Amino acid sequence: MTLWLQRQEAIDVHSAYLDWTHCKIESLLLLANGDIEDHEDASEADDDDDTMVPDEDGPVYHIAKTCPCPHLAIALLVADFGAVGFISALTTFLKKNMPPHSFIQPSSMDRFDVYNQVTL
């Protein structure tokens, strides 16, 4: 029973993270499209509804179903892709873009999936 509860809590935490990233992606798209004024007007009209409705046209981005370069060590990222300051850049990015009390701390022992492209 405790294992089931742990899994349910993990699902809840992951769902909250996905909701948070979805809001971040939509705000970035609004900034990129220059529709900031339209978004502000719409948010004033819908003050009682704080949830964002997913786009009906489909996903915001497209990525490969399988990773072409899975589980690469930091040494391979530096050697093959020239990502010299990857850990420090990733740490800075996570501190800036993640919720304040998230426990994600990348280290040199972590492994990362590398994709060839992401289409927005």
Q: How far apart are CA 49 and CA 53, in angstroms?
A: 10
Domain boundaries of the chain, sorted by first residue: 1-54, 61-120
What are φ and ψ of residue 71, in 5° steps?
Answer: 55, 50
Query: Could you tell me which residues come within 8 angstroms of residue 70 by beta carbon, excluding any fewer than 6 positions away?
Result: 113, 114
The pLDDT of residue 63: 85
What are φ and ψ of residue 112, in 5° steps?
Answer: -130, 145
Query: Could you tell me which residues come within 8 angstroms of residue 87 by beta carbon, excluding any fewer than 6 positions away?
Result: 74, 106, 107, 108
Length of the chain: 120
- Cross-strand partners of 57: none
The pLDDT of residue 32: 56
Q: Per-10-residue mean pLDDT for the chain, 120 residues long?
A: 88 84 66 50 43 55 88 92 92 86 85 89
pTM summary value:
0.47
The pLDDT of residue 55: 53
Q: Which two tokens stand for residue 30?
A: 């609004």
Strand-pair category, 111-114 with 69-73: antiparallel
Residue whose tokens read 């769902």:
15
Handedness of CA 75, 81, 86, 90 (dihedral sign): negative
